[in-house]
Amino acid sequence: CGTGGFLLAAHDYIARNYQLDVEQKRRLKDGTLFGVELVDAVARLCCMNLLLHGIAGDGAESVPIKVRDSLAEHGGVFYDVVLTNPPFGRKSSVTIVNGEGKAEKESLVVHRDDFWATTSNKQLNFLQHVYTLLKEDGRAAVVVPDNVLFEGGAGETIRRKLLQAADVHTLLRLPTGVFYAQGVKANVLFFDRRPAAEKPWTDKLWIYDLRTNKHFTLKKHPLTRADLDDFVTCFNPDNRHERTESERFKSFPYDELVTRDKANLDIFWLRDESLEDAANLPEPGVIAAEIVEDLQAALEQFTAIEEDLGG
């Protein structure tokens, strides 16, 4: 959960948009929001952040943050809503030094019986983990990098399973420049868990393209709430069945999605003006970062193949 930004935003939204009685306010303060963080120091910052904003009851035991590896096991608790921005990374193993001073490789592959596929890709594992955390009809919004949308192997398996088992209804394609890592391309994937069924739960995937011909930076031209107003209108949270297409908002039926190569969800339809106008090309650093990202994705896949072959 990092330092608690998503938790605070959820708390403020509920407090601002709903008329709560005394008991509901107490439950919002202590018993509504929960988080898990791997790094102890970051978890302490998150707890401090929540306490300073009046979240959590009296006593350290009431702070709703657990320090553990989210991916190691389920945890046994199911949730109505899960919001998360999992850490981005591509390493399939880490090097540790054992008690004898020798360096050893420790695999980052996650083996869980409740996962659809076994992989070392952290983002794919978090996507599977989020699905397992949801109650029936629970809702999720997960920030994912582009490779989660197109990567083959385990990525394809997970996308097909998710489209079948959940209502994967919306994908928001974020512009570059909204995260600290220059050139990182990310999206927000929205889905609802549904009960087991023979027919797929996903009917249409609606994609909003906030990336093509949009340029933001963290300092000079940051993304603001107003930049998301059109997406919120198109999303139509009160009645998703009454959505209408627009220049940036298109729907793609389930049958089309699963017949695409590798169930690839990396879909664009707008013409990128920067590719036609050399004067408007992204900064060299952004282009270099995108090339590095693509090469790292390819290297990860080859490394995983090598490890599977016992190399």
pLDDT at position 61 = 62
Q: Count CB neighbours of 203 within 10 A.
A: 13
Choose the CATH number for 79-308 among 3.40.50.300, 3.40.50.150, 3.50.50.60, 4.10.490.10.
3.40.50.150
> What is the pTM assigned to this prediction?
0.81
Rounded CA gap, 34 and 309, in Å?
A: 40
Average pLDDT value for residue range 127-156: 95
Rounded CA gap, 52 and 59, in Å?
A: 14
Which stretches within the chain are classed as H helix? 5-17, 22-29, 40-52, 122-133, 147-150, 154-165, 229-235, 254-259, 284-308
pLDDT at position 93 = 42
More confident site: 216 or 88: 216
Answer for the pair 8, 49: CB distance below 8 angstroms, yes or no: yes
Average pLDDT value for residue range 183-207: 93
Average pLDDT value for residue range 85-114: 60
Q: Compute CA 118 distance to the chain's CA centroid, rounded to the nearest angstrom.
A: 18
pLDDT-based confidence at residue 276 (cuts at 50, 70, 90): low
Q: In Å, how far are 46, 157, 167, 275, 309 from 148, measured between CA atoms?
A: 27, 11, 17, 24, 24
Listed residue (118, 105, 108, 113) closest to 87, CA to CA: 108
% of the chain with per-residue pLDDT over 70? 83
Stretch (H or E) spanning 207: strand 204-209
Q: Mean pLDDT over all residues of the chain?
A: 85
pLDDT at position 54 = 83
Answer for the pair 290, 183: CB distance below 8 angstroms, yes or no: yes
Q: Is the pLDDT of residue 135 over 70?
A: yes
Listed in order, the ranges of the chain carrying CATH 3.40.50.150 are 79-308
More confident site: 96 or 292: 292
pLDDT at position 176 = 84
Q: In Å, how far are 17, 70, 108, 178, 268 from 105, measured between CA atoms?
A: 50, 21, 9, 34, 39
pLDDT at position 195 = 94
